[in-house]
Structure 1
Amino acid sequence: MDDLVTTKRDGDIAIVTIDNPPVNALGHAMRTELHAALESAKTDNDVHAIVLACAGRTFVAGAEIKEFGSDKALADPNLPGLIALLESIDKPTVAAIHGTALGGGLELSFGCHYRVALAGSKVGLPEINLGLIPGAGGTQRMPRLVGPERALDIILSGKPIPVEAAHKDGVIDAVFEGDLVENAIAFIREKAEGGETVAHIRDRDDKLAGWKDDPNRFDAVIAEKTKKSRGLDAPIAAARAVKATLTMDIDEGQKFEREQFVKLVSGDQSVAQRHIFFAQREATKVPGIGKEVKARTVKKVGVIGAGTMGGGIAMSMANGGYDVAILEMNQEALDKGLDRVSKTYDISVKRGSMNEDAKAKRMARLSGTTTYGDLGDCDLIIEAVFEDIGVKEDVFGKLDKIAKDGAILASNTSYLDVDKIAGFTGRPQDILGTHFFSPANVMKLLEIVRGGKTAPDVIATALEVGKRAGKIPVVVGVCHGFVGNRMLEARSAEAEDLLLEGATPAEVDKAFRDFGWPMGPYQMSDLAGIDIGWRKRQARGERAEIADTLAEQGDFGQKTGKGYYSYEDGRTPVPRSETQDIIERVAGEKGVERRAISDEEILERTLYPMINEGAKILEEGIATRPSDIDVVWVYGYGFPVGKGGPMHWADQHGLSKIVERLEHWGKATGKDVYAVSPLLKMLAGEGKGFADYQKERA
């Protein structure tokens, strides 16, 4: 086996290089070799300065996640020990960062006196995305570099920062073009020969001075920056650890941080969030789409429809670097759509997440047309027209005539039969569904619907385009509603009866928020627009008495100021007596005797049918694996990430309990939605979970 760490000399400079492909993760074997190499360089009198570098495509990209929960994760030499060793070296040290220095990788660099980076690289502390906080001093050293407020922003965002921005913040000391190691050697030689070395981060406190006189002032900062982290433990733990820099010395602070980290590692939320992290990776492994299947070349994308959905899709494609042609039926609608896109980008510029130059580049990629023939040179065309099979037939009939050979034609449908849509063309192998979620320029999930005749390279192309556009793609099969909306219908099957039997919209929504959802189903319905579901039910000859009564009187939700709730200030939901009058009138007409309904019953009659439907989807092969369903629900529907998605949560909650209560409610209501899936019943009977099912089928 090749050495994971090597040391070379450039005169009196030692270059310690980590080489642990693919991402130089901080596994135990690598930590052991690195400790020995640093100890040797420390005690070598002929070494006057040290460069810590990495081979391959990146600096240390983080901890070895696969070791989490094992003895190796915390075994000596651990990461805090490596950092302490670096800080004990009185010779100038510099970390030479390229690619990414994330999590433990950035924390490791904090042990050095200096950090230099290759232009275009990124650094960050993404532990929050795994339900964790930095566990090797990141919450203690970052505030000493950039101040506690900025440090908390960086830690809570979990997002990588370009090194150019990190240089301005003070995280990086210099950014270089060209050969990074050569520049790092020259940089540290100058420091060594000059005889002056900055203090280690642990010994700096100038960025904390303004807060230490009254640390409790930082509580208001914490409250503001964690207000969107409802129900999650890690953001609160991170904020407390950052505040510790104001009330404790660094050794006490690191001990406090480590205690929080160890507690979170074994907690249910981090287990769930790590499950979702790996589930995203797993979702890209699609049966029949191996590495030998090459994606088609996509340079130009056509989007049919410049409305909210079409405009959002066009923005996603432009953000991914594609040229985009948007088709509308008339110039007025086209101009309105392009203006909406421009104003949406303006919001990003105002917030500081995009500059004017970036906006200009994206807008330059967009063009408009009112003629189908102008899409003839597109490599991929996505329609975002009204959800009606007749409308889709008309669109795909026209596309079949004008699209070039090999062009991929995609339907942004949330329910309709993709195989039927493919039948409207003479090229079914080139047809698939691309179900974006609204607003498409923001929402991460992309359900890629694989038709019965969809070619493998079409799926490979959709996966590649989705990733480049910043989406999290999950491939699903053809059925009504696919994975997400099919399960949503099951979750909603008892929604009206819960209200008729005694629950109020506010009570149902509170039960959902207490579970961890960002909002409940009735507030969500008001936000999306009650009229959307009403029009779908009209097309299908169905009726939901309460919702449709509201819609028929023009109460569409937040956009009209009235729906299930009233919105006196335009956005805050207030329980509405008129809605309650409708509920009680309909209950009386149906002879329903109203009663008190507990939060437990609300969740049993909404979440349990959803889990059950997920099991049926697995039986039918619509989803490849349970974790794919979890990714769909976390990133498309707001299922609490701290619970890991519906199928993961079901395993933790207990499948036998879910089966027992499904059977109970099936008898009590007589509804088909409670008919227990054979797969769910089998797993519960064998004492297994969906995770076991996935492992057995891997």
Structure 2
Amino acid sequence: MTSSHSSTQFSDTISAIVEDHVMLITINNPPVNAISASVRQGLMVALDWIETSDAVQGVVISGAGSTFVAGADIKEFGQPVTEPTLPQVTERLAGFNKTIIAAVNGAALGGGAEIAIACHGRVASGRSSFGMPEVKLGLVPGAGGTQRLPRLIAADLALDMIGTGRTLKSAESLEIQLIDELADEDTLITRAKNASLKPAAKRVTPHYDAQKFANIKTAILRKSRGQNAPLKAVELVELSQQLDLSQGLSQERQIFLQLRDSDEAKALRHVFFAERSAKKPAMLEGVSPKDIKILGVVGMGLMGSGIIVSALNAGYQVIGVEQTEEAALAGHQHILSILEKNLQSGRLNTDAFERQKKALTIAGSLESLGVADLVIEAVFDDFNVKVKLFQALDQIVRASAILATNTSYLNPNEIAAATLYPQRVIGMHFFSPAHIMRLVEVIHTQYSSLEAVASGFAVANKLKKLPILSGVVEGFIGNSIFSAYRREAEFLLEDGAYPHEIDAALEDYGFAMGLFAVYDMAGLEIAWAKRKREALNRDPQLRYVKIADQLCELGRFGQKSGLGWYQYVNGKREIDPVVTELIDAARREKNITPQSFTKEQIQQRLLQAMQTQGNLLMQNKIAASASDIDLVMINGYGFPAHKGGPMFAGGMLN
């Protein structure tokens, strides 16, 4: 410990100063004040010193910069634990003999929230937020969160926070009594200092609504889909109402350690680190993106409208273009309806709503795109249509502007080659609905400059999307693997499984819906049209399953027609004998003797198909890493995150 007249340094990350008999402790571990060993050790040393000091009558803990404490130090993930542990720190804070107030100046997440609630009171600024997102990493709060929070606020509200991992803003935190006071940023420390000089308040746990608790529990269990952490979170919050605090803390620690070493937690940690890595591909290291301020979007259907809404949310000036005034008006109305829903739900305030409306220009002519820094096309997925559009844009936009194609299956190399400046052409494959889905595949063609690709990444990041780098192959990463997955599912039909059996196996694995139920929901006719276009070039030697074509020929296009892979009676999905007979007939025609498959066998065949295609993409340098493939399948195709993705599940990480 080193001292000066002004401050005391208790560790590299913990400093303090005494003002008016109050010790102001600052956690300074940039960039997010993560709870490292240095932070934990420094806090304990500070508390040792304060405990014996007559000069200090109260304590305030705050974070340096704009964050209070944003959770654990990711550098320590998977490493042996260094004492003191966080539970030891929070136990010391909670039982301390002088009043400790958390001055929450920003995000208090995970262990940061546990530190705050272990203090005797909380004063927070308007930009503060509280959350316990541990379930998203396959964990539960392990430093008293599951036991102290339900004793601080109503248990139903605590269950909602802990079981879903959602984050609360300051106003809601005050409303539910998670914090005691809201303060302006410039008065935060003063208000906390004054509070710390008062005896710690005797708190009475607020009454909770038993029915609301039961409803929240049901919702959490329903959404868990095979995940263990949400179930354990529910169990621990329930125990907080049945056991004394010391017993509850003991149970919490035991369950936390079990979950920490589980396959589920390992998978979710893999996803966490994969996302960090994917946003900074090695190929773009040291490459600066262009400064993109004005975005153009051509095509204002469902996809284009979703891209525009995302761009408006990110603060871009946006020019939306359609071929006709009528189509432009329809697209504009759809965009406004989304913005209005965001306003009504509270995702936008009135000022932001008006600002976004003003940032949008709608035009019926491409000429207005002359000022755009990047133009994304979201027009019909036809090669000639896209090439004609890009050739027209060549004559309108600056040579330095970037052109991005949103194609799903066409070859961006060929689109780029037909333009004047192929080096500025990239792919940005959004997933529908684009204002909701996180995933964007950023495609580097054989011509794309690194600056253009880096600019695509920068825009996707600003849109709060998850950009994944992909090379050029039909369907890129996601649709390429999905095609292999779908093909294997159809082979399984001929080999002996039925749609409901395959769907049940997938849902048992953790998918929200089975593959054939998803087909029916999306509609079968679009994929049918694609198969008909490809029929002339299909290799007759390759195995082909025609059952899906037969369904479409019978007018069975899915839920909207009441008939698809299933029949829908009063909206309820049911097995259809007609489909069963079609499958049986297909087996007889090919002289296939049907087998019986267990759920595990079905799961394994489908996983193997994804993994095989994933390996092929890596060998051909389409995908930069196995973890990128996992992220695409999780964020674009519903692969359960708690399984880590198909490549992780197969032990195929590079």
TM-score by structure 1 length? 0.87
* Counterpart residue number, 2:80: 71
Q: Give, as a single letter, the amino acid of the residue that structure 1 aligns with 2:171.
A: E
Change (3 A) 1:382 1:216: closer
User: Secondary structure of 1:44's match?
Assistant: coil
Question: Structure 2: how far apart are the matches of 1:261 and 1:525?
Answer: 39
Q: Give the secondary structure class of the aligned counterpart of 1:508.
A: helix
Matches within 5 A, 1:193-212: 195-199=198-202, 204-207=203-206, 209-210=207-208
Paired residues of 1:303 and 1:383 also in contact (CA < 8 A): yes
For the residues of structure 1 that align with 2:284 and 2:462, how far apart are their CA atoms? 18
Matches within 5 A, 1:322-471: 322-349=316-343, 351=345, 353-354=347-348, 358-471=352-465
Partner of 2:24: 15
Instruction: Tell me, in whole angstroms, the C-alpha distance in 2 between the residues paired with 1:573 and 1:20.
Output: 54
Which residue identity lines up with residue 241 of structure 1 in the other structure? Answer: L
Does 2:159 align with 1:152? yes
The residue number in structure 2 matching 1:568 is 569
* C-alpha displacement of 1:446: 0.9
Question: 2:3 matched to which residue of 1?
Answer: none
Alpha-carbon distance in structure 2 between the residues aligned to 1:639 and 1:133: 22
Question: Structure 1: how far apart are the matches of 2:337 and 2:555?
Answer: 28
Percentage of pairs with the same residue: 37
In structure 2, relative to structure 1, the CA distance for the partners of 1:153 and 1:216 (3 Å cut) is closer
The CA deviation at 1:511 is 1.1
Aligned pairs for 1:452-491 within 5 A: 452-491=446-485
Give yes or no for contact 1:16–1:38 (8 Å, CA) kept in 2.
Answer: no
Aligned to 1:583: 583
Range that drifts further, 469-478 or 489-498:
489-498
1:548 matched residue in structure 2: 549
2:224 to 204, 229, 237: 229
The one of 506, 516, 519 equivalent to 1:512 is: 506
Q: Aligned pair 1:126/2:133, yes or no? A: yes
SS in 1 for 2:491: helix
- Asked whether the 8 Å contact 2:477–2:623 carries over to 1, the reply is yes
Name which of 113, 137, 146 aligns with 1:139: 146
Q: Which residue of 1 aligns with 2:98?
A: 91
Q: Structure 1 35/277 Cα, relative in aligned 2: closer, same or farther at 3 Å? A: same
Corresponding position: 1:60 with 2:66: no
Distance 1:468 1:173, change over 3 A: farther
- 1:83 offset after TM fit, Å? 1.4
Pair 248,345 (structure 1): closer, same or farther in 2 beyond 3 Å: farther
How far did residue 474 of structure 1 move? 0.9
Return the letter of the residue paired with 1:236: L
* Change over 3 Å in CA distance of 1:24–1:300 after alignment to 2: same
Q: Which residue of 2 aligns with 1:264?
A: 259
AA of the residue aligned to 1:518: A
Whether the aligned pair in 1 keeps the contact of 2:416 and 2:422 (CA below 8 Å) is yes
Q: What secondary structure sits across from 1:37 in the alignment?
A: helix
Match among 289, 292, 302 for residue 298 of structure 1? 292
Aligned-partner SS, 2:513:
coil
What amino acid maps onto 2:259 in structure 1? L
In 1, Cα distance between equivalents of 2:570 and 2:369: 44
Aligned to 2:23, the other structure's residue is in SS state strand
Aligned to 2:541: none
Structure 1 counterpart of 2:5: none
1:268 CA displacement = 0.3
Q: Deviation at 1:585?
A: 3.1
Q: Distance in 1 between matches of 2:167 and 2:457?
A: 23
The answer to whether structure 1 residue 276 and structure 2 residue 265 are counterparts is no
State how far apart, in whole Å, the 2-side matches of 1:332 and 1:127 are. Answer: 49
CA contact (8 A) 2:278 2:468 kept: yes
Q: Distance in 1 between matches of 2:515 and 2:549?
A: 16
What secondary structure, in the 3-state scheme, does the structure 1 residue paired with 2:282 have? Answer: coil
Worse-superposed segment, 170-179 or 79-88: 170-179
Change (3 A) 1:461 1:123: farther
Letter in 1 for 2:64: A
Code of the aligned partner of 1:554:
G
Amino acid at match of 2:19: D
The amino acid of 1:414's aligned partner reads S
Note the C-alpha offset of 1:236: 0.9
Do the aligned partners of residues 96 and 191 (structure 1) sit closer, same or farther apart at CA in structure 2, a change above 3 Å counting? closer
Provide Cα deviations, 1:611-652, integer angstroms capped at 9, x if missing partner.
01111111111111111111111111111111101111001x
Deviates more, 1:603-612 or 1:275-284: 603-612
Q: Give the letter for the 1:206 counterpart.
A: T
Q: CA-to-partner distance for each residue in 1:63-112, whole Å, 9 max, x for gaps?
A: 1233233322xx43111211121122233322122332210011111121
SS in 2 for 1:133: coil
Quote the offset at 1:237 in angstroms.
0.8
Question: Post-superposition shift, 1:339?
Answer: 2.5
Change (3 A) 1:640 1:392: same
- Tell me how far 1:248 sits from its aligned partner: 1.6
Tell me the residue number matched to 2:559. Answer: 558
Whole-Å separation in 2 of the counterparts to 1:93 and 1:23: 22
Which one-letter code corresponds to 2:500 in the other structure?
A
Aligned to 1:39: 48
Higher mean C-alpha deviation, range 339-348 or range 254-263 = 339-348
Could you say what secondary structure the match of 1:59 adopts? strand
Kept after mapping to 2: 8 A contact 1:314/1:326? yes
2:60 corresponds, among 51, 56, 64, to 51
**1:280-309 deviation line (CA, Å, top 9, x unaligned):** 00112223312x422212222111212111
Q: Residues 435 and 446 of structure 1 are in contact (CA less than 8 Å); yes or no, is this contact kept in structure 2?
A: yes
1:106 aligns with 2:109: no
Q: Which residue of 2 aligns with 1:530?
A: 524
Pick which of 99-108 and 266-275 moved more. Answer: 99-108
Alpha-carbon distance in structure 2 between the residues aligned to 1:247 and 1:197: 25
Cα pair 2:22 2:196 within 8 Å, conserved: no
- Is this contact kept in 1: 2:164–2:230, CA < 8 A? no
Query: Helix, strand or coil: the match of 2:296?
Result: strand
| Post-superposition offset of 1:220 | 4.3
Cα pair distance change 1:439/1:252, threshold 3 Å: same
Query: TM-score, structure 2 length as denominator?
Result: 0.92
Residue 17 of structure 2 aligns to a residue whose secondary structure is strand
Give the whole-Å Cα distance in 1 for the aligned partners of 2:408 and 2:124: 45
CA shift in 2, pair 1:539/1:79, >3 Å:
same
Unaligned runs of 5+ in 1: 652-689
Q: Aligned residue for 1:617?
A: 617
**Conserved in 1, the CA contact under 8 Å of 2:59 and 2:193?**
no
Deviations 1:455-509 (A, max 9, x none): 2222222222112212111111111111111111111223323222322111111
> Could you say what secondary structure the match of 1:439 adopts?
coil
Matched letter for residue 176 of structure 2: D
Q: What is the RMSD of the two structures over their aligned residues, measured on CA atoms? A: 2.3
Give the 3-state SS of the residue equivalent to 2:502 in structure 1: helix
Q: Is the 8 A contact 2:403 2:424 kept in 1?
A: yes
Offset at residue 219 of structure 1 (A): 4.0
Q: Which residue of structure 2 aligns with residue 187 of structure 1?
A: 191
Q: Which amino acid aligns with 1:13?
A: V
Provide the rounded CA distance (Å) in 2 between the counterparts of 1:121 and 1:297. 31
Which residue is equivalent to 1:681? none
Q: Distance in 2 between matches of 1:389 and 1:400?
A: 16
* Cα distance in 2 between the residues matched to 1:302 and 1:156: 41
Q: Which moved more, 1:466-475 or 1:249-258?
A: 249-258
Question: Aligned equivalents of 2:569 and 2:347: distance in 1?
Answer: 31
- Contact 1:324–1:365 under 8 Å retained in 2: yes
Among 250, 254, 260, the residue aligned to 2:249: 254
- Partners of 2:283 and 2:497 lie apart in 1 by 47
Residues 14, 27 of structure 2: 8 Å contact kept: yes
Residues 13 and 28 of structure 2 are in contact (CA less than 8 Å); yes or no, is this contact kept in structure 1?
yes
